[in-house]
Amino acid sequence: MITVLHLSDIHLGSGLSHGRINPETGLNTRLEDFIAALTRCMDRALAEPVDLVLFGGDAFPDATPPPLVQQALAQQFCRLSAAGIPTVLLVGNHDQHAQGLGGASLSIYRTLGVPGVVVGDRLETHRLVTRQGPVQVVTLPWITRSTLLTRPETDGLSMAQVNELLLDRLRVALEGEIRSLDPALPTVLLAHAMVDTARYGGERFLAAGRGLTIPMALLARLCFDYVALGHVHRHQILCHQPLMIYPGSIERVDFSEESEDKGYVLVHLQRGGTTAEFCPLPVRPFRTIEVDLTAATAPQETLLQAIAATEITDAVVRCLYSLRADQVDQIDSAALVATLASAHTYTVQAHVEAPVHRHRLPDLSPDSTLDPLTALKTYLDSRPEVADLKETLITAATLLLESADDLTLDLPGELDRHDWDNNLPDPAAPPDDSAPPATQQLRLL
Ligand SMILES: [Mn+2]
């Protein structure tokens, strides 16, 4: 049996806005938190000791981390190298340059020839020798269209068509790797990917662009004794046969991870009988305090009570409250700041609700979905003093709307952008009957 420590999504250098400068070290406290979490992973790997460490990708927020941050990561992984524990560093989307040409921030480990460290920046099978014998690791880094396709192949294709083509290529390439595996050896697939059955974590907000979603069945092959995933920040087990796990990020990158446990996975790898356990890390708590004060008679008191009821000591806190315009003077900011002082860091966001306007014509409230002509008629019906102008105004409005329709059809560039953003059908395709009605197109513009 081979013991593996699987961690992912380190994102060292992310979320610094939630920290402050530590006067003793001069470093951002959130960078220190992330380093502490990574250090605990390495401590465990060495204490076990494990036979292999797999990193599932996204070491930094981008491909060009500052030397200080790059060095902090290297200091930890070099401990594994010194202890003779083989390590695979997979390239995630945040580790790639925008064009997806190799693992920019991680390839330095290969360039320097760090003993025992393998960089997975392409689909490839690595045969590694551990203290418990040999193991095969198939690396599947983040796939972009330039990884498997050339420009002429994708010209004129929609996003969905490009993704279909990418999956076809990936299927064939993965099949090639699988056929060259030694069936006698324990085998791991290490992939940085968005698997279709995953529940989203913070990565939804972190993604450096729209990416490819891979069907689980494409990766859940029984030739693999373990599928080690990276990319989604929420820890989850996607499949038991074979065992397929996202360990999640090792620290909270932002508030979307407020309620998630953070940690790594310890895997006991063997042919046909792999088991794994999630090992939580003691990371810094995030707390959201959200209070609606609009109905409160004593808003300041209600707000302070809500803060007092929350465990904020050493936590990253955000306090969101909404109040009426006439209540603004009743909030004492100095007292609020004093109450939040025990937090590690905090932000306060007040939302002042706009006074409610009474609509003279309920049918014409901002929520109504009348088309422009019907809305105009409704309005004119309510103004008997201009009854003799009604016909003229409606005729003029009809003409205006018609010429506006012509305008929207003449603005393909603008519509292009919308269709692309919404992943709608290719705008270059001939219009079909399902195209939105003219009034809807007007609203898009
Ligand atoms: Mn990622």
Contact 283, 251 (CB under 8 A): yes
- State pLDDT tens for residues 8-43: 999 999 999 999 999 999 999 999 999 999 999 999
Q: Please, which pLDDT band fits residue 367 given cuts at 50, 70 and 90?
A: low
250 and 311 belong to one structural domain? no
Q: What is the pTM of this model?
A: 0.77
Residue that finishes a domain, picked among 304, 331, 353 = 353
Tell me the CA–centroid distance for residue 121 and ligand 1, in Å: 14
29 and 51 belong to one structural domain? yes
Please say if the pLDDT value at position 94 is more than 70. Answer: yes
**Which of residues 149 and 344 earns the better pLDDT score?**
344
pLDDT at 201: 59
- State pLDDT tens for residues 171-202: 999 999 999 999 999 999 999 999 988 887 55
Tell me the CA–centroid distance for residue 53 and ligand 1, in Å: 18
Mean pLDDT computed over every residue of the chain: 86
User: How many domains, in total, are found in the chain?
Assistant: 3
291 and 343 belong to one structural domain? yes
326 and 380 belong to one structural domain? no
244 and 109 belong to one structural domain? yes
137 and 59 belong to one structural domain? yes
327 and 187 belong to one structural domain? no
What is the pLDDT averaged over residues 262-271?
97
386 and 319 belong to one structural domain? no
127 and 226 belong to one structural domain? yes
Tell me the CA–centroid distance for residue 420 and ligand 1, in Å: 22
CA distance 406 to 180: 59
What is the pLDDT averaged over residues 346-372?
76
Closest CA to 183 of 122, 272, 245: 272
Tell me the CA–centroid distance for residue 422 and ligand 1, in Å: 22
Tell me the CA–centroid distance for residue 77 and ligand 1, in Å: 19
- State pLDDT tens for residues 220-243: 999 999 999 999 999 999 999 999
Q: Residue 387: which domain range?
A: 362-444
272 and 331 belong to one structural domain? no
Residue that finishes a domain, picked among 260, 280, 300 = 280
| CATH number of the domain enclosing 88 | 3.60.21.10
Residue that finishes a domain, picked among 254, 280, 306 = 280
115 and 227 belong to one structural domain? yes
Tell me the CA–centroid distance for residue 142 and ligand 1, in Å: 8
381 and 340 belong to one structural domain? no
What is the pLDDT averaged over residues 397-409?
77
Tell me the CA–centroid distance for residue 191 and ligand 1, in Å: 10
Closest CA to 42 of 91, 14, 81: 81
